[in-house]
Amino acid sequence: MAQLIVLMHAPALGPASWRPAAGELTRSGQAVAVPSLDGFTRGGPPYAPRLIGLCADQIRAAAGQLPEGRPDRIVLVPHSGAGVLARHVAAAAAASDVVIVYADAGLPGRAGPDRVADAEFLPHLQEIASNGVVPPWPQWWPGEDLSGLFPGEAARAAVLAEARPLPLAFFVEVLPPLPPGRPPGAAAYLLFSAGYRQEAAEARRRGWPVTELPGEHLHMLASPAGVAAAITALAVRAAGQGRG
């Protein structure tokens, strides 16, 4: 079966957060795409539909370049804040067979519209915003040492160089409804950090396969080979289990 693994970075970060894992997947023979969400805030609100379309366009372009012409399956791997957007991206990319592997990521709700930012975290973003702008991700926790998230200075520099300020309005947006009759697709959860244990527990309640690789929130930088292997294994398990 031909499949395309799509590594979707958090809106507050950039493709550098996934590049080491993408390299490992490519070396193992997988077809991989790492879409860039850079520029989705240009043009004003609403921002989420533009982000979704930007990512979906790059997925379709990558799929069209495969030797087979199109993949039999797309494995979408959203990280962190990209999780709530993943089903919308899959629908916009017109993927008929999709597996979503949430990597230390937020989850869509079971019913009703979702907001970009979790209701529990939104007050913090509102507090640190200035003139309607949320500062770049490294400044979300002033004074906190983030060095433990990175395996070295090169990785730290690459990731932080892509962090951009984002409009507060983006985080409070309500996501558009999914197309009528759109099935949820198969899903799995890959847990890295203690901060996402609640989401992993919810994934288990939904009956999804769950794998834990203990580490920090950017564990795909510290252990790209381990994360790559976990993604491929979880995709197989989720696909075999069926719709989530």
From 16-20, 110-114, 176-180, 187-191, the region with the lowest mean pLDDT:
110-114
In whole angstroms, what is the distance from residue 68 CA to residue 102 CA?
26
Domain residues for the domain of 105 are 3-241
Q: Is residue 244 predicted with pLDDT exceeding 60?
A: no
31-69 pLDDT, tens digit per residue, is 999 999 999 999 999 999 999 999 999 999 999 888 877
Tell me the average pLDDT of the chain.
92
Whole-model pTM: value is 0.95
CATH number of the structural domain spanning residue 213: 3.40.50.1820
Domain count, the chain: 1
Q: Which residues pair with 197 in a beta bridge?
A: none
Compute the chain's Rg from CA coordinates: 17
